[in-house]
Amino acid sequence: MLICIAGRGWYQEWGKPAQELKPGDVVSIQPEVKHWHGAAADSWFQHIALAVTAEGASAEWLEPVDAQAYEQL
């Protein structure tokens, strides 16, 4: 779960459009969903990330976000 507390950012699940995040927005992310999140190009972004641990589960950091795709947001 992501809770946006300040600034402006983006969240995008693999194969879906990006959604803008503003203070107060909450994103519930299901297990095993490939996604990225981060600050908008013209803003900083502060958030709280909550994760529920499960046996055999772990976070996996994947490839960086494509710069061209990010710049189009």
Provide the 10 A C-beta neighbour count for residue 10: 19
**Residue 8: both structure tokens together:** 């402006």
Distances, alpha carbon 40 to alpha carbons 32, 44, 49, in Å: 24, 7, 17
- Tens of pLDDT, residue by residue over 6-18, are 999 999 999 999 9
Q: What is the pTM of this model?
A: 0.83
Question: Which positions ≥6 away from 68 have C-beta within 8 Å?
Answer: none
- Tens of pLDDT, residue by residue over 29-49, are 988 899 999 999 999 999 999
What 3-state DSSP class applies to 71?
helix
